[in-house]
Amino acid sequence: MHMESKPEWLTVLPAGGENYHRLKQLFGELNLHTVCEEAHCPNVRECWGGGTATLMLMGDVCSRACRFCMVTPGKPDGKLDELEPENVAFALSQMGLTYVVLTSVDRDDLPDGGASHFAKTIRLVKERSPGMLVEVLIPDFQDDLEALRVVAEARPDVVAHNIETTLSLTPRVRDPRANYWQSLSVLRNVKKLNRRIHTKSSIMLGLGEDEEEVSLAMKHLRDVGVDFLTIGQYLRPSKRHLPVEEYVTPETFEKYRHIGEKMGFKYVASGPLVRSSYKAGEYFIKSVIEREDNRRILE
């Protein structure tokens, strides 16, 4: 059964506020793209109003066409804005943040999938804003270990890569090049390259999954060492995207949070409006990272 009318727990305020307009202008002037706008995120008011945003690298055209995603699919044709890493680092230095998320479209048209562009951006951001924690939400780079190494060596604090959905739904939900086991392999390999990097993943609910399979996906993520997990409601961006099969209740999301915590995730954000780059979670993730860094210093 397809669901059309949203329940009241999915009601959010429209974007607005002084900081929202300031950031919108700054990103526009520097030709920077945010996933907040491209993906029509429901939390844009909350996050931008609090001075945080998720920046999307390497343009706004994705070489893949997942059936849940609002970002425009197409052919980027190898084009890259060489000034983007510097512009991102400058913009972030003006924002006074302590935590930032850098993500990107998929760029299968580039030899390294854009890994070196990610690495350059991470290094410049760290240079310009030394106290800032950097999370990168990366594509799978076709599980190219060398591309992952390039990103890991730039020392991001968190590497996120989303499995998005359960094993059986993956072929229907994601682009054919986005494989469930490949995504798990990416997360495992990040830990192999540098066990100190925290890893993170995300699952959308409401696409027809059952509880047993969601729990299995969570177990698979723990088995490859994932530290942080976010679980949110899939919202249909347009009529050309997959329909919503179910609006999952806040109580069910809370149940998954408890399951995840019992499995040993260091942090689980689970709720209808939670997204993979979720502001409310960043404060907790930041405290986990700082606590572990302090423990290493004492050791």
pLDDT for the residue numbered 52 = 56
pLDDT computed for residue 3 by the predictor? 56
Can you give the pLDDT at residue 197?
A: 94
Helices (H), 97-249: 115-128, 145-152, 170-173, 180-193, 211-223
- HSE, CB side, 13 Å, CA atoms: give it for residue 255: 10
What whole-number distance in Å separates Cα of residue 146 and Cα of residue 143? 9
pLDDT at residue 44, rounded to an integer: 55
- Can you give the pLDDT at residue 249? 95
Amino acid at 149: R
Q: What is the predicted pLDDT for the residue at 173?
A: 86
CA-closest candidate to residue 151, choices 118, 184, 186: 118
Residue 62 is given by DSSP the state E
Within 10 angstroms of residue 7's Cβ, the number of other Cβ atoms is 13
* Continuous H helices in 11-138: 18-29, 35-38, 44-49, 84-93, 115-128
Residue 99 CA from chain centroid, whole number: 13
- DSSP states along 243-292: PB-----HHHHHHHHHHHHHHT-SEEEESTT--SS-HHHHHHHHHHHHHH
Place of tokens 């992952």: 148
Mean pLDDT, the chain cut into blocks of 10 residues (299 residues total):
61 55 68 58 54 70 58 71 90 80 78 91 95 89 93 95 94 85 96 95 94 98 96 81 89 97 94 71 67 71
Q: Residue 158 and residue 200: Cα distance in Å, rounded?
A: 7
Distance CA 106, CA 95 (A): 26
Residue 75 pLDDT = 76
Quote the pLDDT of residue 49. 52
DSSP state of 46: H
Q: Going from the N-terminus, what domains does the chain have, and what CATH number goes with each?
A: 11-298 (3.20.20.70)
Query: Model's pTM, two decimal places?
Result: 0.82
